[in-house]
Amino acid sequence: MQSQGIVHFLLFVVFFSIGAAALAGAVLCNDLIQYCQNQQLVKEAERSLERLDSLNKEYDALLEQLENDPNLLKRIAPATLGTQPEDPNAIYPKARARELALARKALVAQAGETSPEEAVPRWLQRCSDPSRKLGLFVAGAGLVLISLVFFTPKTQGAR
């Protein structure tokens, strides 16, 4: 009789846990999707802040170099500002708009930016479908009811 009680308890725990998890998943599906998307946005913001910090460090180093070497400004101004170089023997490359666009696309791909929709796991996207959400809710409610009806401990007086 004792082993039958243990089996009933284990079945109650299993059925109730799975049913409660299915109910919670069906009810909280949209909130979980929003949470995943917000987490992705936070990660992108942190990466952006890191890039800005590295740019600030690079600009600080460049400013320090400019303070130490005043001729550096004369050498980099034509390439940076697009003006004609003062030295007739100097050759500075000209970048075309198409080349700049390809370089920008490569940098964005290298950064690995993803959209918030890509951050949501596929199983969660499938669960957000209204018909599947309803199915999860009904199945979870059924498992909870089955566990409460069939696997609750019997009272001694009601045989």
pLDDT tens for each residue of the chain, 159 residues long = 588 888 888 999 999 999 999 999 999 999 999 999 999 999 989 999 998 999 899 999 988 888 888 777 777 776 677 677 676 776 666 667 787 788 888 877 766 656 656 778 888 888 889 999 999 999 999 999 999 998 877 766 554
> Cα–Cα distances in Å, from 115 out to 2, 40, 85, 121?
55, 8, 43, 13
Residue 146: the pLDDT is 92
Residue 66: the pLDDT is 83
> How many Å from the N-terminal Cα to the C-terminal Cα in the chain?
15
Residue 56: the pLDDT is 94
39-43 — which CB contacts under 8 Å span 24+ positions? 39/119, 40/114, 40/115, 40/116, 40/118, 40/119, 41/116
Q: How many CA atoms lie within 13 A of 99 on its CB side?
A: 4
Residue 63: the pLDDT is 87
Residue 151: the pLDDT is 83
Note whether 5 and 129 are within 8 A (CB). no
List phi, psi (to 5°) of 113. Answer: -70, 135
